[in-house]
Every structure is written in C-alpha cells, then in structure tokens.
Amino acid sequence: MAILRWLSYLPHRIVQLFMGVYPLPAIRLARPVLGHETAPAWLGPFLSSSTWFGRLWWTLFGYVILTGALTVCGFAAAGLLYLGVVIFNLGSAVLSGGSVGANLFDLTLSKDTLGRLGMLIAYLAGVFFPREYQRIAPATFGVLRSLLKVRRSIVRVIYRVGRFIIRVFGYVFLLGLSLLPLASLLMVLPAVLPQETVLTDSIRPARSFWRRFGRRVFALLTGFALLVGLLAIAVEIVTRMNLKGTYFGELARLILPTDLANALPRAMVEQWPYVLLIMYATDLAVLFAIGKVPLQYNIRNLAVRWKVTILTGLTFTVVVGLLTGMFAFVNGINQLTSNSGIPGNVFVLSDGATDELFSNMGYGDVDKVELEKVYYDRAGDLLPKPIAIKELPAPDGRGMVRLMSRETYFVINQAVPVKKGEKPRRRFVQLRGIRDPFVAAKVHDIRLVEGDWIKGSGVLDIGGGRTAWQAVIGEGAAANFGADQGKERLHAGDLFELGDKQMLVTGIMKSEGSTFGSEVWALQQLVGPQFGKQQFTTLVLRVEDDTLASAEEMSWHLRNRFKNPRLKAVSETEYFRDLGKSN
C-alpha cells in the first residue's frame, strides 16, 4: 500500500520538478497560489489538497500560474533590455552628432537573443529573493520547496567561491600597486583621501563635492605623470648604457604579445630588470628631494632593530644569489646550444616536427634533397650564383661527396651500474646514428682529441667469439661512462655497454662547449634496427659558400618550394637558438 500511495503522488512530484527550475522572480509572482497550505474551501472536499487528485489538480494549477508569471518576468526583462538599447542609441546619437530620431528604436538583437537575455536577467534577479523557499506551502508543494532550498545552497557555494576569487584578484591588485614607485603612490594619495597632502604640511579643507573631485583627478594625473617620468628616465639611461641582449628579452617576448613587444622601447623589453632597478633608484632620489622621508628615523630604526635588519639583508643576499645562479645557468645553456650551430649549415626535419627526436623521414625522400639547388631568392629574382650543397673529395677514393649528413637521433634509457645495496638508477643517453662518418665530421666541424673515426662495417671482433660496435663519443659522455668503470674517463680502445650491446670507443670528439659532448655516434645501419628507429630523423647539410645568408635561403627554399616530401628546414644557428629557448 505504501508503494501504491507513493506512486499515486508521483505525477504531481514530477510537475514540481519542472517548476523547480523556474527563476525566483516568477515564483515570487505566483506565491499567492504556491503559498497556500491547503486548497480554498470553496473548491470542496473533492479538490482538497489532502487527496491525491486534489493535490495533482492544485499542482497543475500552480504550474499554469507559474508559467504565466514566467512570461510576465520574461517580457519585463526584455522590456528593460530594450529600454537600455534605446538609451544607448540615444547616447550614441548625441555623442556622434547625428540625428536623434533616426536610429533611436533600432534593435540589432534578434528576437531569440532578446528572449535569452531576458531570461538571463530574470534568473540573475533571483539574488533578491534568497529565501523564497520558506514561503512555499510544504503540504502541497513540498518537492518544489526542497528544490528551491537546494538551489539556495548551490547559490551560496557559488557566492563564496566568487567572493574568494574576487579577494584573490584584490590581493593581486594590491601586490601590483605595491610594486609601483613610492613617490607616485604618495602623489596619488589625495585621490583616496582628498583632505590629505604630501608636499605641504597642511591643506585647506575641501567642503564642496566638485573641489574634492578636482583634487582626486589632479592627484591621479600627478601620480601618473610622475610614474611616466620615472619610467622615461630609466629607459633613457638604460638605452644610453647600450647593454647587450640577454635572456631577459627572450623571457619578455614569451609573455608579452608580439605587437606590444614591438611597440615598446627596446630597453623596456630587452633590459627590463635594469629599467626597474634604475626607476626605483630614481624614485628614492625623488623621495629624498621631496624631503618627506624621515631619514634620521630610518637610520635609528636599523640600529635599534638590528636583528630584523640582519635577517632582511641576509634574505636579500640569498635571493640575489639564487637569481644570479639561475640566470648564469640559463645563459650557460644558451651559450652551449648557440655554439653547436654552424652558420653555413641547414637543419632539416620532417614537416611538423619540433625536435629531431620526433622527426621521421624515409630513405628515398632524402636522396632528392641532396640534388637541390636554389636559383631564385624569396622574391623570385634570379640569384647571382646558385646555392648548392658543398662538395669535398672523400679520403677513401670515392671521389667528390656532398656534405649532407643523414642521421637518426635516439634517446636511450639505460641502467646505471650501482654498488651492491644501492638503489637502481637510470639515465638518458643521447645516441646519433650516422651514415657516413667523414661527411658527419665535416658537416658538424667535429675533430677528435684521440683515436680515429669509425671504419668499415662498424663491427669489430674483440675475442672470445664476441663482437663490439665501433662508436665515437663526446668528452662528457666519456667522463660519464668512465665513472661507471671507476675511471676519470674512457679512452680510445675502451669498452662500454649501450643497451645490451658492447660498444668499442674508437675516438673521443673534441666537443667541449657544444651539445655533442654528451652524445654517442655509431653507424645508423647498426643502431637503427637495434633500437627500433630505422628511418632518418635529421638531415644536416652545408651550403657551398659557408654563409648564414645562403643557409637561410636554402632553408626557405626547402620549406616552401620543395613539396615531395614536405620538410621543415631552418638554419642550424636558428635551430639551436630556438632549442636554447625551449631549454
């Protein structure tokens, strides 16, 4: 029986679920019906809210009344919106000097958009009726009352979250104000307190609204003018210092929009920390010139509160030291990557690749690049001399070979030998598979400090039925692998493990100050199948006249005119410069 009774009241509960999503102003208008605890006596016992039929009838009647109230609220909100449009058109006509009556009642919004905005206004107006659920009859409209209570709880949570967000933005705004020069903030003080003054000891009280308003405006303009003046002085001083570009400019261009960065003075973008320091120093001088800084009191305060003074000085020293070390590290990485680029080289990746680790090119595709020549510049004009890939005679009697190095780049995750009882460790090893050691050495301008380049098939018999692959490694890699064996570094003729293969060091590259110092070079036809990457990832080619201008023309030609396959080609200098920014 309880289930049947619950099911008998299910229809009017479903109707109240729909009523629960209506805006609160409409529910307020329909409250004369929704607020009745019982049905009026004139309806008789048959339609009494104590019976399921009477409660259903009363719920449907309330739904109809509520829908009518919603229509009234929607039209009222749309009317207010339309009135706002009329006022806006009137103001626009007056300001523009046009005809007032021509476009006064023009409504650029569609009816659907106007209706949606009207409903939005009706829902937003619900904040003025937060406790409307308390006036709903619980006997007849209990479900509606519960839904409105839940809605109020949700609104309260949203309100608290919104208030928290506003407070956070307020703190950020105050933090931004605290970074402004103190002199400009003191000049703006009368904008908040018109009865206060900075430059004089006293000021006549402003008794009228317009006098106080004038003081506020004057204070804002004075503070802004002083801020602009301090900034202009700092920019001019830094510009005359003619400092070299650093990492600061690259960081600023990553944050600022391109148009804004190009519009600002160069010193504000490239040397912004120095601009800020000089601006603050000038601000301090202005404060002393104003004479409102109690210098004697400040000096006495340092002596009295000596513990706080020492802690503050120590904190600033630590922060400056950390920043100095961090920027030195960043500049070192930039220097390392920039030294790896050769002006006459062109770095070629597959189309869409951002790094050679993610590049993938087929064997047949790269053969076409080797024959490319540039006859026309970017504007389509004939070049005085075609730009081609440089050729050199090979030492093994092969004749002339083009300096285009076909390479496959890997990053190998390898276990590091540890002592018994130590936790296992792993490291990344950079492996570069090269097709022709002579061409790779000439293209990258790499010389050996000891040993010789890879020869023959790249595989040597080391006795006992074992073989090892020949490898040429950088000085950094030689030190790392040597530490695994208890040596200062590996030398030509030493063995080390790469994956599950024995590698024989045939030579040590003179790679100090470049990214090749941590790499291992081996024949691509050996390491490609072994480590699961048989296609080339990178082409590095040297232009005939070894100039950056020719390398940029060749890279533009390969990017835009070479269609099969599509390639991403940049000068090697630009590639390593961008790599430094990514690092």
Q: Residue 77: its pLDDT value, please?
A: 74
Which of these three, 317, 336, 355, is where a domain ends? 336
Q: Are residues 19 and 152 in the same domain?
A: yes
Overall domain count for the chain: 3
In a domain, 120, yes or no: yes
Residue 188 inside a domain? The answer is: no
Q: Are 346 and 575 in contact (CB under 8 A)?
A: no
Q: Which residues contact 334 (CB under 8 A, 6 or more apart)?
A: 247, 580, 583
Tokens of 459: 């595989």
Q: Which residues pair with 391 in a beta bridge?
A: 402
Q: Residue 162 above 80 pLDDT? A: yes
Handedness of CA 67, 73, 77, 80 (dihedral sign): positive
Q: pLDDT (tens digit, 9 = 90+) per residue, 44-99?
A: 454 555 555 566 666 776 767 777 777 777 777 777 777 777 777 666 666 555 55
Which has more pLDDT, 366 or 517?
Answer: 517
Quote the pLDDT of residue 101.
46
- Are 305 and 438 in the same domain? no
pLDDT of the residue at 100: 46
Q: Is residue 376 part of a domain?
A: yes
Q: Both 18 and 36 in a single domain? A: yes
SS3 category, 418: coil
Same domain, 358 and 312: no
Amino acid at residue number 99 = S
pLDDT digits (tens, 9 = 90+) for 377-417: 888 889 999 999 999 998 877 888 999 999 999 998 888 88
Q: Give 111-171 as a DSSP string.
A: HHHHHHHHHHHHHHGGGG-TTGGGGS-TTTSHHHHHHHHHHHHHHHHHHHHHHHHHHHHHH
Q: Counting beta carbons within 10 angstroms of the beta carbon of residue 245, is it exposed (0 to 12), middle (13 to 18) or buried (19 or more)?
A: exposed
Domain-ending residue, one of 336, 365, 381: 336
Q: Reply yes or no on whether the pLDDT at 183 is more than 90.
A: no
Q: Which residue did the predictor score with more confidence, 283 or 296?
A: 283
Above 70 in pLDDT, residue 12? no
pLDDT average, residue stretch 306-325: 88
Residue 358, pLDDT score:
84
Note the pLDDT of residue 145.
77
> Are 326 and 561 spatial neighbours (Cβ–Cβ below 8 Å)?
no
Q: Please tell me the predicted confidence (pLDDT) of residue 52.
A: 56
Peptide bond into 565 cis (omega under 30): yes
- C-alpha 16/C-alpha 34 separation (Å) is 11
* Residue 192 maps to a domain: no
Domain contains 170: no
pLDDT at 232 over 50: yes
In this structure, are 325 and 372 located in the same domain? no
pLDDT band at 191 (very low <50, low <70, confident <90, very high): confident
pLDDT for 366: 73
129 and 245 part of one domain: no
pLDDT computed for residue 337 by the predictor: 65
Q: Six-digit token pair at 37?
A: 């605890």
Are 278 and 409 members of one domain? no
Q: What is the reported pLDDT for 523?
A: 93
Q: Report which secondary-structure segment, H or E, holds 496.
A: strand 495-498
- Of 299, 315, 336, the residue that ends a domain is 336
167 lies in some domain = no
Q: Are 562 and 421 in a shared domain? A: yes
* Cross-strand partners of 570: 347
Reported confidence tier of residue 509, pLDDT bands at 50, 70, 90: very high
Residue 267 domain flag? yes
Instruction: Examine the domain organization and report whether 269 and 142 are in the same domain.
Output: no
Q: Which long-range contacts link 453-460 to residues 24+ away (Cβ below 8 Å)?
A: 453/506, 453/507, 454/506, 454/507, 454/521, 454/522, 454/523, 455/506, 457/523, 458/522, 458/523, 458/525, 458/526, 459/526, 460/504
In tens, the pLDDT along 359-372 reads: 888 655 677 888 88
In tens, the pLDDT along 525-567 reads 999 888 888 889 999 999 999 898 999 999 999 988 888 778 8
Residue 266 lies in a domain: yes
- The more confident residue out of 215 and 291 is 215
Query: What is the rounded distance in angstroms from the CA atom of residue 531 to the CA atom of residue 178?
Result: 56
In the prediction, which pLDDT does 185 show? 82
Provide the token pair at 455. 């020869």
484-507 residue pLDDT tens: 888 889 999 999 988 888 999 999
Tokens coding 220? 């804002």
Q: Structure tokens of 443?
A: 């293209």
What local confidence, expressed as pLDDT, does residue 102 receive? 45
pTM to 2 decimals? 0.53
Instruction: Name which of 96-105, 180-189, 298-307, 308-317 the model is least confident about.
Output: 96-105
> Of all helices (H) and strands (E), which one includes residue 456?
none
Residue numbers of the domain that contains 269: 209-336
Same domain, 261 and 331: yes
Quickly state the pLDDT bin for 19 (edges 50, 70, 90): confident
For residues 192-210, give the mean pLDDT.
72
**Torsion angles phi and psi, residue 40, rounded to 5:** -60, 155
What is the per-residue pLDDT across 444-496, written as a single tens digit (0 to 9) for each? 988 999 999 998 888 988 888 889 999 999 998 899 888 888 888 999 999 99
Query: Is the domain of 270 the same as that of 149?
Result: no
The CA–CA distances, whole Å, from 413 to 96, 490, 498, 508, 520 equal 69, 20, 10, 22, 13
For the chain, what is the mean pLDDT? 80
Round to whole Å and give the CA distance between 122 and 91.
26
If residue 522 lies in a helix (H) or strand (E), which one and from where to where?
Answer: strand 519-523
Do 451 and 486 have their domain in common?
yes
